[in-house]
Amino acid sequence: MPALADAEQLLAELAPLLGKHRMSALVPNQKGLDRAMRAGVREVAVFASATESFAKANLNNTVAGSLDIFRPVVKEARDAGLQVRGYISMCFGDPWEGKVSTKQVADVAETLFESGITELSLGDTIGVATPGEVVDLLDALDDRGISRSLLAVHFHDTYGQALSNTLTALLEGITTVDSSIAGLGGCPFAKSATGNLATEDLVWQLHGLGITTGIDLEALVQTSHWLCDKTGLPLRSKTAIALANETRTDEVR
């Protein structure tokens, strides 16, 4: 994968942080795992799809075929003492196939856990999920005996539902939430999909709920503005925009 070509260089720069913070490296196949292990990574990730269309577009394989590739990769990683995070894309909707059934997702989830993953992130890749659908999927995974303590959620904000979906997941017992600084991200196969849940918006919500994150929101917002200035990418965090506007207003006063 071209985007991963300089992964070793990046990990060398991050080496001082590897033992202090949780960092996961995407390993699409055995070669990726070998590279990650040589670089000293202690957690790797595999990405599966709930739908055949996305498996073909993103992995050039079938759902079953990609799971067959991941199985020995996960086993070797676990045998080496690594943690393995699984991801399932298109858990709620697919740009080619439409609505995705909870059974499709649960089947893939069950197979991934049987292969040995230690955590699973449920991806709303094109941002179409609503709170009721989040509850339905978690209930379906309950029926397969999959503990919510092993699950994470990964929402995109295409329809403005990422925060409400996250709150629903929290109330349902999920404690791990994926997000991205400035709300960056997207999906190359779904042009309407916007970025991920913005970390700044998530932290604002969690602090409002009285949940301690250990994150300095002011420093995070400063970093998000710096990053968007450097990359030219749009800032999608409402919290980062609002807090910056408040600062400018205070300066004028």
**Annotated catalytic sites, by residue?**
187
Q: How many CB atoms lie within 10 A of CB 242?
A: 14
Listing DSSP states for 21-57 in one string gives S---EE--SHHHHHHHHHTT-SEEEEEEESSHHHIII
Residue 63 burial class via C-beta count within 10 angstroms: exposed 0-12, middle 13-18, buried 19 and up? buried
Query: Cβ distance 121 to 88 under 8 Å?
Result: yes
DSSP-assigned beta bridge partners for residue 196: 156
Q: How far apart are CA 253 and CA 98, in angstroms?
A: 51
